[in-house]
Amino acid sequence: MAARTHRRRDDLHEPAETELTQLVQQELAAILPWSARLREGIVSLGGMVVMFGRALARAVRGPSSLSATAYQLEVLGIRSLSIATLTALFAGLVLSLQFAFFMARFGVQHTVGKVVVLTLFRELGPVLTALTVGARIGSGITAELGSMAVTEQLDAIRALGADPVKKLVTPRLLACMVVMPALTALADVFGLSAGSVVVYTQYDIPFEQYFRSAIETATLMDFGSGIAKSVVFGGIIAVVGCSKGFSVTGGTEGVGRATTETVAITSVAVCLSDFLLTKLFLAL
């Protein structure tokens, strides 16, 4: 009888203790919102790193996913040619116009090709391509995988015994890491060509002189550093897009929210990694 009475008292105290715990957690979350966001960000970052490692591990193990990767190359790469070329053209036009204008004050506008080629090869080519094309690619990946998540297609893939990382993440990761360097090289060519037109029409600098100064200045390291950055940017874009797509909840509203978060996270990650990679390459 005494044991039964004691158990009833415990049952009365348990709801009160649960409510008190929940109230304390809510107050702490309201007082320290940044700590909760920081913890959530660390957990999300860890999940992205794990997904990247799993996708690379699946890539080196059979069976091969060449057909799926080739399809993603067409979807992510060829369909992004227009935005990549337009961005590179206008970047080259503005860059050459600005540098030529300020260098004309010192009478050295004939060397504008040296500055333009280094800026394009090392920074603007890979970064602008990653920010513009990456926003399109990352949001598209998140929307596609997020729609599959909310319609339970990912659960269906797991139920059939297939690996969704192998089937969905690995082809997109490989395609992005191939597409971004190719688009960056294309952006370098178009930006440099557009700059030559500006300096020829505005400052009567011959094409031959412009391209000669550019070729004499740029080295293989300058071009290779930009291409290496674009490989890293491609991996970041694919991993963020796939991770956000896999974690979508809340129906179509959740898909839209995840797509917006993908663009924001990708842009910040590209800029941060660009700084770190620039420090690394300058130290080499």
Amino acid in the structure at residue 125: G
Q: Which residues contact 110 (CB under 8 A, 6 or more apart)?
A: 205, 209, 213
* 147 burial level (CB within 10 Å; 0-12, 13-18, 19+): middle
Q: Tell me the domain boundaries of the chain.
A: 1-31, 34-283
Q: What burial class does residue 215 get, using C-beta atoms within 10 Å of its C-beta: 0-12 exposed, 13-18 middle, 19+ buried?
A: exposed
- pLDDT of residue 3 exceeding 80: no
160 alpha carbon, distance to own chain's centre: 31
Name the percent of the chain lying above pLDDT 90: 35
**Chain position carrying tokens 């890539």:** 59
The identity of residue 84, as a single letter, is A
Alpha helices (H) along 151-250: 153-159, 164, 170-203, 207-217, 220-246
Which residues, at least 6 apart from 47, have a Cβ–Cβ distance to it below 8 Å?
243, 247
Mean pLDDT of 65-89: 87
What confidence tens digit (pLDDT) does each residue in 116-175 have? Answer: 999 999 999 999 999 998 888 999 999 999 999 888 888 888 888 888 888 899 999 999
- Res 11 pLDDT > 60: no
Question: The tokens of 89 are what?
Answer: 């053209």
24-38, 95-109, 174-188: least confident range: 24-38
Instruction: Please give the average per-residue pLDDT across 201-206, as a whole number.
Output: 86
